[in-house]
Amino acid sequence: MAKKQLRKLLRALPQDGRFRMADIDPDSTPGLKNPKRAIRDLKEHRAALFSLQERLYAEKKRSLLIVLQGMDTSGKDGTVTHVIGGMNPEGVWITTFKAPTPEELRHNFLWRIKKRLSGPGNISLFNRSHYEDVLIARVHDLAKPQVIERRYALINQFEQQLVRQGTTVIKFCLHISYEEQRRRLLDRLRDPDKHWKFNPHDIEERAYWDDYMSAYSLAISNCSTAAAPWYVIPADDKDYRNWAVNRILIETLEQMNPQYPHPRLDIPRLIAKLKA
């Protein structure tokens, strides 16, 4: 696969105004002819991603926002570990958004999101995000339909403003199947060392699977824009998931093309001073 094609392949492009999660096979591996290459490529590309991030951090003119969404067990934490873990932590701000606190509920739903954005040169990663307010809020009727409809527009305005201010926004939906989630939940129950990760509430949420797929379809249909695209990553295969996210991050940073600054330095004088 030629470089810079995976973003085109996995970008969610609503057809007739509507994107459908059901049209994406969670067990597919688009763009990767040999799935066995995923682990090897990920290791090889680790240095490339680190170098690009270093250039962005040194340049200190622009920033990158990464949004991770997906059903429980889809691999958000794993993606952070295996992909983002290869970056310099000094330039990465990771936020995991839980249920809003009483203070957060007193403000607009974007208030807590804006507080966690980092400055130029940095990468912000949201593990769950402002999209919870149009996903779980829709599934569990936590807001009126007309309120949720307004939130789509507010999200688009917010993300477009970030782009105008110099932040590149990319959003990943990690898409797993109903059966794969069952297998991963069973694995957690069978392994005592994974019991700490298990939440009985996750089983109850499975009853709303179709509602969540509909909510994701609507969110992506309304909010996959030229300024802030959504990428739907088939995530039944964990290695492919990591490979695809890594590849798209590299492509995105390559397009941003951050540059090392070149301050004026009297190199001969400084070298002579060090040798003195």
- Over 70: is that where the pLDDT of 3 sits? no
Q: pLDDT at residue 2 above 50? A: no
pLDDT digits 0-9 by tens, 58-94: 999 999 999 999 999 999 999 999 999 889 999 999 9
Domain region containing 172: 6-275
pLDDT at position 199 = 87
Tell me how many domains the chain contains: 1
**Model pLDDT for residues 134-157, shown as the tens digit of each residue:** 999 999 999 999 999 999 999 999
Q: What is the mean pLDDT of residues 34-56?
A: 89
Tell me the CATH number at 166.
Answer: 3.40.50.300
Per-residue HEC secondary structure of the chain comes to CCCCCHHHHHECCCECCECCHHHCCCCCCCCCCCCCHHHHHHHHHHHHHHHHHHHHHHHCCCEEEEEEEECCCCCHHHHHHHCHHHCCHHHEEEEECCCCCHHHHCCCCCHHHHHCCCCCCCEEEEECCCCHHHHHHHHCCCCCHHHHHHHHHHHHHHHHHHHHCCEEEEEEEEECCHHHHHHHHHHHHHCHHHHHHCCCHHHHHHHHHHHHHHHHHHHHHHHCCCCCCEEEEECCCHHHHHHHHHHHHHHHHHHHCCCCCCCCCCHHHHHHHHHC
pLDDT digits (tens, 9 = 90+) for 158-209: 999 999 999 999 999 999 999 999 999 999 999 999 898 888 888 999 999 9
Q: What is the per-residue pLDDT across 224-260, written as a single tens digit (0 to 9) for each?
A: 999 999 999 999 999 999 999 999 999 999 999 999 9
Residue 1 lies in a domain: no
Position 216 in a domain: yes
pLDDT at 44 over 90: no
For residue 16, pLDDT beyond 90: no
Percentage, residues of the chain above pLDDT 70: 98
Residue 179 lies in a domain: yes
139 within some domain: yes
Per-residue pLDDT at 13 exceeds 90: no
